[in-house]
């Protein structure tokens, strides 16, 4: 069943005028009057809805019922991702959402090729949020991970929480299996070229734990996804 993000309060038996972006998708999918779609608004539930009106530029959906459907992992993972270039960052956002990440914090690092600030940074974060929403529509998640505003790596370390922070690094590194099973953690992934030695030292001084996935050096877009999959296998909902 086709799924669409509709960020408004939804109630069974109520009818809703659907926004233009959903109307366009409905026509692309060649849906017809009386067909059923699924709406979700981020509250953790799905809302099957019947198309009770369908015109060229207008569609109305009637909510049939509220379907509580918990597809979230019991492992809460925040991804701190150093900004990578072009499609690499988009790919990382999309796939990490599919893999169950709960929140994404983009950070600017020394080796980040792309430098973003001001309005350009705001537009990029908005785009990443749209990518996260599309990933939720595709993978069946009813809770949309938040893409936080960009901060510098140094600022993040100054303000970070006390939960377990795992830094992907080959220095002072442990295996994931060496760590006590957590229920929430933060995964920190560098950009192209990884973290600098100064950044790693600052992270260690801030209490971060270095972890490696093996002897091979992984690209930034590979490292985040491989680590997320491994963590979901060890501590999350991968079986």
| Average pLDDT of the segment spanning 52-71 | 95
User: Residue 112: what pLDDT?
Assistant: 86
CA 178 from centre of chain: 26
User: Residue 134: what pLDDT?
Assistant: 97
Rounded Cα distance between 134 and 229, Å, is 20
Mean pLDDT score across all residues of the chain: 94
Residues 25 and 106 in one domain: no
User: Residue 144: what pLDDT?
Assistant: 97
pLDDT at 114 over 80: no
- Which of 23, 40, 68 finishes a domain? 68
- Which of 68, 97, 114 finishes a domain? 68
The number of folded domains in the chain is 2
- Which of 45, 68, 91 finishes a domain? 68
CA dihedral over 78, 220, 196, 85, signed as positive or negative: negative
Range of the domain at 37: 3-68
Provide the phi-psi class of 118: left if phi over 0, else alpha when psi is between -120 and 50, else beta. Answer: left
Q: What is the CATH number for 15? A: 2.40.240.20
Q: What is the CATH number for 88? A: 3.40.1280.10
Contact 51, 33 (CB under 8 A): yes
Q: Band the pLDDT of 217: cuts 50, 70, 90.
A: confident
């Amino acid at each position: 069943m086709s799924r669409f993000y509709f960020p408004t309060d939804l109630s069974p038996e109520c009818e809703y005028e659907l926004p233009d972006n959903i109307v366009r998708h409905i026509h692309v999918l060649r849906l017809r009057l009386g067909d059923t779609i699924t709406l979700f608004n981020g509250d953790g539930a799905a809302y099957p809805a019947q198309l009770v009106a369908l015109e060229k530029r207008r569609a109305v959906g009637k909510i049939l019922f509220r379907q509580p459907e918990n597809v979230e992992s019991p492992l809460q993972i925040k991804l701190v991702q150093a900004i990578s270039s072009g499609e690499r960052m988009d790919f990382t956002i999309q796939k990490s959402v599919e893999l169950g990440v709960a929140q994404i914090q983009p950070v600017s690092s020394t080796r980040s090729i792309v430098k973003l600030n001001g309005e350009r940074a705001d537009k990029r974060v908005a785009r990443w949020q749209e990518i996260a929403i599309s990933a939720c529509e595709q993978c069946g998640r009813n809770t949309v991970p938040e893409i936080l505003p960009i901060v510098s790596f140094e600022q993040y370390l100054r303000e970070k929480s006390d939960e377990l922070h795992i830094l992907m690094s080959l220095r002072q590194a442990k295996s994931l299996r060496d760590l006590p099973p957590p229920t929430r953690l933060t995964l920190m992934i560098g950009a192209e070229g990884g973290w600098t030695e100064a950044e790693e030292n600052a992270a260690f001084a801030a209490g971060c734990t270095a972890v490696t996935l093996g002897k091979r050096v992984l690209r930034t877009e590979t490292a985040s996804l491989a680590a997320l999959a491994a963590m979901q296998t060890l501590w999350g909902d991968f079986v």
